[in-house]
Structure formats: structure tokens, C-alpha cells
Structure 1
Amino acid sequence: MLSIINICKNVHINSLLVQQIRYKSKTHWAKLKKKTSPKYKAQNHFDEFYGSVFGGKWPPMKEAMLRRSKYVAVVNNYGDSEETIDFLTERGAHCLKALMSVQQEFHKQYPPTPTQTDTQTATLEQYTAKVQSDDISSIYPQDKLPEKLELSDMTIRSNEEEKEVEKQTLKNLTLEESLASAQMDMSRIIDPSMGVTSEALYQYVPATQLKGMDEWVPESLHYSYYAKDTDFPLAIEPETEFSFPEHLKVYTYEMGSDWNMFPEPKRCKTSVYNYYPMDCGSVLAVLALCLSPGDRVLDLCSAPGGKALVALQTLLPDVIVCNDSSISRTNRISRIFRDYLIDFETSNSWRERVVVCTRDGREFTDDIGFDKVLVDAPCTTDRRTINQDANLVYQLARVKDRLSLPDVQPYLLTNALKLVRVGGAVVYSTCSLSPVQNDGVVHMALKHAFETHGVIATVKDLSVPFANLAGTLSLAAGSIAPRYGQLVTPTSDANFGPSYIARLVRVK
């Protein structure tokens, strides 16, 4: 009996000790447990990767992405549009087109200061100059550097002569003397002052080039995206054709204002919903198409169909082809069209104007060609990835899917450049902050399209027309701005994005 009492006392004492240890910290014990779910793995990866890319600007971006995102309302022209506009206006929403016009007038009176040169590019130029200076220093003594190099100062030999001289020199040296006289190629060493860590470099090298090492390559990398020299025709020109479609009605709340979420859309008298809520970055992808009356449009990765719906709301395309590689996803496209387009399933006019198909976008073919092509490529969907555990590319079972993204994205864009007519435009967009999936894919696709198919495209700089959105959303600028496109970055005042938009016009 006594032994049982002693055991009970010991158990009670031990439980008290456990409780004291458990509640000793001010942080609840459950929060101290190691978080290993996919969304926390994604957050850790983004902290490491985006921390090296965006520096101190990443933490506020992450904080905004962890909050509820902001939406705009695209008014349905096939419903009670006037009543819908009155309803949204009464709630304090403003017309996006009007906001852009106000900002444009402001810029006319107070022109924005030119964007400062990308600090990383400037540092690379300084480093290049340093390497060139070191090359000269290796030829001339430090106390006798010429002010200007003349042709007479150099001995010019052909490649064959150089090889013969080197061969004769090596013949007269022993192995030890050859090793002692060998020089390291310092031009291939990354200078630490450039601020580029080895981890950052691994985020810019294509995983597809590292065969057999897919299990450890974090994402994919291509450091040369930021190099000025290219081995294919590349031109970046300002966009001059941009205009807001007359019939597209988009409503939003001003940046920094106390905004509320739009209520759930309601059915109109015509049985369709009155507006479509979506991220403003998705609307910008459609605006970047610069649609014209009678355009034949291809939405290569269309599901769930929001961007195609916005394109139809402009009342400009004559035909729009909505494609996706998954049957279940194309079913979502049809469902959205049924909810927003009157008599979509029964009207012959819709069957002629809207085509929904299921193909691999990399192998999509067409005999006629398209005036505009939208490539809303599959990506890491950053905001969703760090907030949800379900169906994520950071799940252990989907590692290969994540690592294959850089294999899929550039080939989708390359095929789009083939499908668009000469003079037509391709818009590439993602909902990722990754330079690999954004500028990197554009660079690889332009290169591959030229080398494989002889296609040449010009990059259109959208910075001027998109500057009129300064009072509505935040665009990456300065050292974090992409080279080829525009990047919508989430902020606490304007929690849109992330969205990347690049416009390419085929010239050959």
C-alpha cells in the first residue's frame, strides 16, 4: 500500500515538474514545436532565397503576403453594369481607369525622377572595369602605365601562332616549373564586394543544366540574366501603344485607404454574376496585351479563366482560345464562363468566339496564328504557397514538379513566340517574385526561340504606362526592379501581387 502511495506521489511530482517546464516560457509550447509542414518549408526557402535577392525589402513583402490579399472588381458588361458601378461607388471604390488618368496628369505637372541605375548592374560594371584594369597592369609595370593603349603597343598573333609559341615554351619547362609558372584565371572568380553570395548564385543557374543533381538544386539559376552582352538579338524599347480599353470597368480602393473586402458577387437580372473579384496584377497582364478590335487571342495557360474573362470584358477580341493541359482545370474555365456570359452553353455566337481546349501548351499548334498570346505560366504561386499546405509544390511528393518549373516555363513562352504573328504581342506573367521564373524565363525563351526557330522579339518596357498606377499599387523599382518586365510587390498599403508582367512583340 505504501509503495502505491509513493508511486502516486512521484507521478504527481513529475507531472508538476513537466508542467513547470512546459509553461516556463512565455511562448506557448505548441508554437515552440518545429514546424515542418509544406507552407513553413516554403517560408524558410523564401526567407533564404528572397532575402538574398531583395534584402531588407523582403520582410515587409512577406508580412503583406501572410495577410489577406486585396482585390479589384471587374464589372460584368453582360450583367447589370450600371447598377453594379453604382453599388461599388457607394462602397467607396474608385474606377481604376480614372485613378490612372489622375496619376498621369500629376506626372505631367511633376515629372517623376528617372529611376536610378540598378546597383547590382553598376557593381558588375565596376567589377568588369577592375578586371580590365588588372589585365593592363599584368602587361605594364605599375609605374609605367600608358595613358592610352595604341595598336603599336601590342603584338598581334593569330590563334595558331599563339598555340605554337605556348607549345615551344612548355617544351623547355619541367613539370615543376610549369606548375610554378601557371596562373589562375581570376576573371572567373566572383568578387565578394559584388554582394552576390554563393547561395544567391545557385538561385540563378538552370537546374536543367545540372543533370543528376535535381534532388539538391534549390530551384534554378541563371546569373547571366543580368549581363548586358547576349549572343542573340535583344532590344528593349519603350511601350507606346498602351491604352486602357474603353469598355473595361475595374474598381478598386485607393492605396493607403481603409478598404474592405468586396462582398460576394450577386446574380443579376440576366442570371450572371455582377462582377468578378481578382488580383489587380492579373488585370495588368490583360492590359499589357494592348488588345485591338478583331484580335485573335490565345490564352495558353488559361485556367481558371479569370484573365480570359477580363479580355472578353474589353469587347475587343473577335476570337479567344482558352487552353490548359488539365481537363479538370478546363472545366473550371467553362464554369466561370457559364457564370458570367449570358447563354454561354446555348449561344452559337459564343461557340464561334470562345474555344476551350485541353493541350500541352509546349506542343500547342495552330495554322492561322494569333494577334496576341497570354502565357500565365505555372509557377510557385508565392502567396498561396506560404499560406496553405494543400496542393503545394513544396510538398515532399511534388519536389520534382517544383524543380521542373524552369523546364516548363521557357518552353511555354518559346512556343507562344512561335504561335504569335509577326507584329503581334506575347505577354508572359507569373504570380511569383522569383527572378528565375520571371526575367530568367524571358531571357531563356528569347534565346531559345531565336536559336531554334529564328524568331526575334522585342521587349517592350511598360514602366511609363504602369507608372500611372503609382497611387494604386506598388511596383518594384531601383535595385530590385526586373530588367524585362514589371513586378507588382505586396505592401501593407496595397496588398496586391506578387505579379510579374513582361510584354514581347515579335518582329521576325
Structure 2
Amino acid sequence: MFSGMFWTKNISSITNIKCTSYQFGAFFQSKRWKNGPSHWAVEKKNQTAIYKALEHFDDFYSSVYGKTWKSIRVALLSPQKYCAVINNYDNSEATATLLKNEGAFNMRDAIKGQKNQLKKQSEELKRKKELDAVHAMDRKLEKITQNKEHEELQTLYPKNVCIPDQVIDKEFLCNDNSIDWSRQIDSKSGLSTTALYDFIPTSKLKGREDWVSESEHYSYYEKYLKVPIDVAHEDDLNFPEHLQVYSFETSNVSSFQEPQRGSTGVFNYYLMNASSLLPVLALNLAPGDRVLDMCAAPGGKSIIALQTLYPDLLVCNDSSRSERLKRVLKDYFYNLKQVKFTMRDGRFIDETDLFNKILVDVPCTNDRLSVNKNDNNIFKKTRLKERFRLPELQADLLSNALKLITVGGTVVYSTCSLSPIQNDGVVQMALRRIWEESNHRFVIKDLKNALEPAKLFYRFGETFGMKYGHIVIPYLPANFGPLYFCKFVRIE
């Protein structure tokens, strides 16, 4: 039997010892072993919603995003990055000075500067191409002249006789009619036989073994047939003059101070994930707009829309969190005459020909929240059926928005999920329904060129097979997102 166990007085001075005791006067160190998979603590951990979300994402997203998923996963589990939306209903100039002193940048000014720089580079590239075309034409004319001189010389010599080197450049060889000289490669052109491989189809692209093919990427919803849809390029993303948003530069992980109430009694700025700015910018708000925020809670995107000072009417609707939405907006606005709050199921809103701008920021798996918080997590066992029905709910909401929008109006659909089912998949389902159930015609806006200057702050997932929309991919230097958005404009 052990004679007894006691701690030494100077145990704090002993390093790398987790447990000590005396056994028959002998001093020894005990080792802590990890619990096995059947241990109650491990089983309890494996039952949490966070664990279930990570397990699901590891299985699903690794097949969609390949090796990139590892870096996305790290970013999702790390603190997200915020931007500060200045409140124009407070002392906006003082707030802007405060944020500048903290080292933040005005996103509108930075994106505008990047846009001008890209425009300058594009113009220089265009001029270079024009000069290259002129030089190519000069070389072609020079070649034609040389060929003409060669033909004239040929008239002075009998057939099958070599033209003396003194008379013509050594580039021209004997006039042998048995050789088709037009199919030869000029050694002076810099071309080699490897250039011919550009025209030989390959069975596999080396270095792209981790690529997920388009057919596999969209196999999750192949049952939804393709529908005729027009896609139009949009080259500019309008950033309203009165909308002031500040963020820290890429790789700067500084945090903003908590907002403070100013002299008017409202908070001086609103903190949010900067990716949420993009769906509102995609609406291209203008003075006099009548806007519906179909799923408005907690209110961040509604705040952005109001800070543009453009809408004549903003309907903030949410089926379950309307009171919370009111409290948030009252913290930032002392005059809400143009705002109307409703608490309706967005699938059944029926005010047609009223709204020319509709934002459909649907309920989703909320990937960042799902891997960080157990509270209100969509991966809880009690919410299993709700999670499985999300794509159907999302398609219903988007379909109704597409029915409500006026001709010439804009609908923007968005999620904070990386799931291709909830993103392009839902867009495809909704388009199919509209095509079958109405005479409405839409064009989807390709914003790739318009988003190019915004790469100063965001990382876009341009190589993951998006057919309709655009997605912000989380990564540590600029840990925004995830956020997917797609822009529709009704043309009939």
C-alpha cells in the first residue's frame, strides 16, 4: 500500500511536471494519457453542433474546393475581419478622422484609386497591342515586298536553277517544285516544334489534379434542367458618394474600438463583416428607389442601404426577428420615416410592381457561425429537418422576389455559405420555376470585371465553377466572408 501522498513545498519550481507524488519515498512523474474514442468526454464533444458542422464541411467542401479547403477552414476558425460603416446621422467627419487615426482606409477611395490604376494599365496594354499590330503589318508588308522581288528574280533564271547567293538573300533557297515551302517553319521566327502542341488536345491537365470538374461540381442538382438565361457583363460597381466604409488593409488584423453614441444619441459607426457590403453595392441603389430587404435581420445590410441616403422607401421584413431589427435600426437612426417594418413570410409577400430593388439575403447554414458557436447552430440535432429543407426555402424566397420585382428592377440573392447547392444551385432552381410559371425574363449580371478593383480587400473564388454568381472566400490576410451573391435584372 502507498504510505501516503503529499505535495512538495517547492513544486512550482519544478518544470514540465504535471503530477508528482511520493511512493514509498521514491519521487516519480505520472503521465497523462489521451482519452479514447469511447470516453464520455470525447463522445460529448463529438455530439456538439460545432463538431457536426466541421465534420460535414470537411466531407463536403473538400470535394468542392480541393486543397484550398484547408486554408478556408483555418480562416473560418479564426477571428473574422470587420469593417466600420460610418453613420451619416451622427458627426460623420469626426468619425472618419477617428478611424483614419486608427490606421483604417476609406474603402470607396481605395477601390476608386485601384480602378483608375487598372484602367491606366488596360489603356497601356491596349496601346501595346495596337503597336504590335502595326509592327506585324510592317513585317507582313516587308515579306510581301521580298516575295515580289524573289518572283522578279525568278523570271531572270531558268527553272530548277538555284539563284546565286549574291543576287538574293540566303533565306531564299533553290526553286524546287517538289517541296511545299508554305508548310515550313521559319527558323528565325523563334518558334519551335513545341508550339505545335498548343493544337493537340490533351487527356489530362498536369498540375490540376486537385481540380473539381464542372460536371462533378454541379452533380448535386443535375435533376434541375437548364433554362434559357441571358448573361451580360457589367464593368462598374457603383460605390455611393455618401456611403463611407472603413477597413484595415490586407494582412492588418487590427480591431476596431466599440462604437460610441454621439451627440445625436445614435452610434457613430456599425461594425460588420465587409463582405456584406457587396450585395448592397450590387443593387446599384439610386435616388428614389423603393427597396425590399426580404430577410433583413439582424439589419446590417439595411443600415448600409440607408447610409447611401438614396431610398425613398425601405421595407425591412423578417418573419421572426422583427423586434430585434427595429432595436438595431433605432440605435443608428433617429428619423425612420422612409422605413417600414413588416413581419411576414417572404415567400408570400404579394405587393407586385412596388419594388424596383429587392435584396434576398436568405437563411443558410451560416458557415462561419456554425463552426464557432453552438448556440442557435443549424447543425443541432433538433434542427436537422430545417437544415435539409434550406435549399427549398431559399429557392422559394428567391422565386417570389423575382416575381415581385418591376420591369427594369434588380434582385440580388445572397448567402453566407460556401455550399454550391445553396448558392448557384438555388439560383438554377429559382430560374427554372420562373421560366415555367411566368413570362418574366431576366438577365444575370456577370460582375467579374466590376469586382476586379475590390480584390484590394477581398479574395474571390473565381476558379471554383461558379455559373451564375460570385463568392468571397475567407483567408487569413483578409478574413472576410464567406459570402455568395448573384445579381438579376428583369428585362420583361
Q: TM-score, normalised by structure 2?
A: 0.73
Residue number in structure 1 paired with 2:327: 335
1:245 corresponds, among 240, 247, 260, to 240
Q: CA deviation at 1:35?
A: 2.8
Question: Matches of residues 402-481 of structure 1 in structure 2 within 5 Å?
Answer: 402-478=387-463, 480-481=464-465
**2:284 aligned counterpart, secondary structure:** coil
Deviation per residue, 1:397-417 (Å, 9 max, x gap): 110010010110011000000
Contact 1:103 1:470 in 2 (8 A): no
- Determine the structure 1 residue equivalent to 2:55: 44
Deviation at 1:455, TM superposition (A): 1.9
Q: Deviations over 1:235-273 (max 9, x none)?
A: 1111256311011000001112x3311111000100000
Shift of 1:109: 3.4
Contact kept, 8 Å, 1:446 with 1:456, in 2: the verdict is no
* SS, match of residue 370 in structure 1: coil
Higher mean Cα deviation, 373-382 or 359-368? 359-368
Q: C-alpha separation between the residues in 2 aligned to 1:305 and 1:279?
A: 13
In the alignment, the residues of structure 2 paired with residue 494 and residue 299 of structure 1 have an alpha-carbon distance, to the nearest angstrom, of: 27
1-structure distance, mates of 2:368, 2:461:
17
Q: Secondary structure at the match of 2:278?
A: helix
Q: 1:255 aligned to 250, 253, 261, which one? A: 250
Cα shift at 1:362: 0.5
Indicate how the Cα distance of structure 1 residues 502 and 24 shifts in structure 2: closer, same or farther if over 3 A, else same.
closer
Amino acid corresponding to residue 75 of structure 1 in structure 2: I
Which runs of at least 4 in structure 1 moved beyond 3 Å after TM superposition? Answer: 5-9, 19-25, 29-34, 109-113, 193-197
Contact 2:353 2:405 (8 Å CA) reproduced: no
Equivalence for 2:286: 292
For 2:235 and 2:34, how far apart are their aligned partners in 1? Answer: 64
8 A Cα contact 2:66 2:212, kept in partner: no
RMSD value, Cα = 2.9
Q: Please point out which of 80, 105, 108 is paired with 1:97.
A: 108
**For residues 194 and 272 of structure 1, do their structure 2 counterparts lie closer, same or farther at Cα, with a shift above 3 Å needed?**
closer
Q: Aligned partners of 1:486, 1:263: CA distance in 2, in Å?
A: 31
Letter in 2 for 1:426: V
In 2, the alpha carbon distance for the partners of 1:489 and 1:106 equals 24
Report the counterpart of residue 482 of structure 1 in structure 2. Answer: 466
SS in 2 for 1:446: helix
Q: Deviations over 1:367-403 (max 9, x none)?
A: 4421100000000000000011111111111100100
Tell me, yes or no, if the aligned pair for 1:371 and 1:420 is still in contact at 8 Å.
Answer: yes
- 1:106 shift after superposition: 2.5
| 1:267-306 → structure 2 map (5 Å cutoff) | 267-306=261-300
Q: 1:23 aligned to 6, 15, 33, which one?
A: 33
Q: Distance in 2 between matches of 1:241 and 1:224?
A: 35
Partner Cα distance (1:365, 1:424) in 2: 16
Q: Map of 1:307-318 to 2, 5 A cutoff?
A: 307-318=301-312
The 1:259/1:6 distance shift into structure 2, 3 A limit, reads closer
Cross-structure match for 1:121: none
Give the counterpart letter for 1:293 in structure 2.
Answer: P
CA distance in 1, matches of 2:67, 2:42: 26
2:228 to 229, 233, 237: 233
CA distance in 2, matches of 1:400, 1:32: 26
Show the 5 A alignment for 1:75-86: 75-86=86-97
Distance 1:42 1:24, change over 3 A: closer
1:101–1:468 Cα contact (<8 Å) kept? yes
Aligned residue identity for 2:221: H
CA distance in 1, matches of 2:453, 2:481: 17
Alpha-carbon contact 1:461-1:484 (below 8 Å) kept: yes
| Structure 2 residue aligned with 1:504 | 488
Q: Which residue number in structure 1 is paired with residue 140 of structure 2? A: none
Q: Percent identity?
A: 42
2:355 equivalent to 1:370 = yes
Partner of 1:117: none
Q: CA deviation at 1:453?
A: 2.0
The one-character-per-residue Cα deviations of 1:172-210 (angstroms, maximum 9, x if unpaired) are: xxxxxxxxxxxxxxxxxxxxx99769xx96x856xxxxx
Amino acid corresponding to residue 377 of structure 1 in structure 2: V
Give 1:222's aligned residue: 221
Contact kept? 1:241, 1:290, Cα under 8 Å: no
Structure 1 residue 381 corresponds to structure 2 residue 353: no
Answer whether contact 2:360 2:413 (CA < 8 A) is retained: yes
Query: Contact conserved, 1:375 with 1:427, CA < 8 A, in 2?
Result: yes
Cα distance, 1:24–1:390 mapped onto 2, change above 3 Å = closer
Equivalent AA in structure 2 for residue 253 of structure 1: F
What letter matches 1:238 in structure 2? H
Q: Distance in 1 between matches of 2:430 and 2:467?
A: 15
Structure with higher Rg: it is 2
Change (3 A) 1:61 1:44: same
Are positions 1:35 and 2:46 aligned together?
yes
Counterpart Cα distance in 1 of 2:110 and 2:268: 22
Give the structure 2 partner of residue 137 of structure 1. none
Displacement of 1:454 after TM fit?
A: 2.3
Change (3 A) 1:476 1:24: closer
Q: Is the 8 A contact 2:352 2:406 kept in 1?
A: no
CA contact (8 A) 1:481 1:487 kept: no
Q: Is the 8 A contact 1:428 1:502 kept in 2?
A: yes
Q: How far 1:233 sits from its partner (Å)?
A: 2.3
Instruction: Kindly indicate whether the alpha-carbon contact (under 8 Å) linking 1:233 and 1:456 is maintained by their aligned counterparts in 2.
Output: no
**What is the CA deviation profile of residues 334-377 of structure 1, one whole-angstrom value per residue up to 9, with x for unaligned ones?**
101110002x4xxxxx33x1110011101111144211000000
Give the counterpart letter for 2:241 in structure 1: E
Give the drift of 1:481: 4.6
Out of 67, 74, 78, the position equivalent to 1:67 is: 78
Aligned to 2:198: none
- Normalised by the length of structure 1, the TM-score is 0.71
Structure 2 unaligned residues grouped into runs of 5+? 6-21, 24-28, 126-208
Within a 5 Å distance, the mapping from 1:94-133 to structure 2 comes to 94-111=105-122
Question: Is the Cα–Cα contact under 8 Å of residues 236 and 450 in structure 2 kept in the other structure?
Answer: no
| Alignment match of 1:495 (pick from 479, 485, 488) | 479
- For 1:24 and 1:460, the matched residues in 2 are separated by 54
Q: Aligned AA for 1:425? A: T
Quick one: structure 1 residues 196 and 241, their matched pair in 2 at CA, closer, same or farther if it must change by over 3 Å? closer
- Rounded to whole Å, the distance in 1 between the matches of 2:456 and 2:41 is 38
8 Å Cα contact 2:364/2:415 also seen in 1: yes
Letter aligned with residue 335 of structure 1:
R
Q: 1:263 to 1:485 in 2, by over 3 A?
A: same
Which amino acid in structure 2 is aligned with residue 96 of structure 1? M
CA distance in 2: counterparts of 1:94 and 1:233, whole angstroms: 42
Contact 2:365 2:417 in 1 (8 A): yes
* Post-superposition offset of 1:88: 0.1
TM-superposed deviation, 1:20: 5.4
